[in-house]
Amino acid sequence: MPAIDFSENPWFEPTFKFYDRTLLEDTKKGVYEVTEFWHLLALCHTVMPDRKSGQLEYQAQSPDEAALTSASRNFGYVFKSRTAHTITLEIYELLAILDFNNVRKRMSVVVRNPAGEIMLYCKGADTIILDR
């Protein structure tokens, strides 16, 4: 099965490979749970964006965070910048960060979205998340 061609996305990364066409179709249809999944990946991380030679690159402490943020980018949910209080996809006000640690085994962010709603996004080890 050939990899999905993301070249119509101006932010795509040529080295990114993905094969699940169902996820792509659900993303294009705007399925709520899929949209929230991409928001989670694009917002809940400590990645720093860097512009080199006009290209957007991500610097991450964890290769997992880099890969997940890259996936959201290729599907059109592009993390562009951050300040102490905002993350830019659209403008999300960053209200709180609970960093990943080995006790909680998860990371969370609290944001105010463009519609003014306050949202909590959390990611972590499946054994911890599924128990909650």
Tens-digit pLDDT string for the chain (132 aa)? 899 999 988 889 999 999 999 999 999 999 999 999 999 999 999 899 988 877 888 999 899 999 999 999 999 999 988 888 887 877 678 899 999 888 888 999 998 888 889 999 999 888 888 876
Name the pTM for this structure.
Answer: 0.73
Contact 121, 109 (CB under 8 A): yes
Residues in the chain: 132
Q: Is 67 left (phi over 0), alpha (psi -120 to 50) or beta?
A: alpha
CA distance 25 to 37: 14
Distance of CA 32 to the CA centre of its chain: 15
Q: Give the pLDDT of residue 8.
A: 87
Q: Which domains does the chain have, with CATH numbers?
A: 21-129 (3.40.1110.10)
Q: 100-131 burial, b for 16+ CB within 10 Å, e for fewer?
A: beeeeebbbbebeeeeeeebebbbeeeeeeee
For CA atoms 120, 124, 130, 132, the dihedral sign is negative
Contact 110, 119 (CB under 8 A): yes
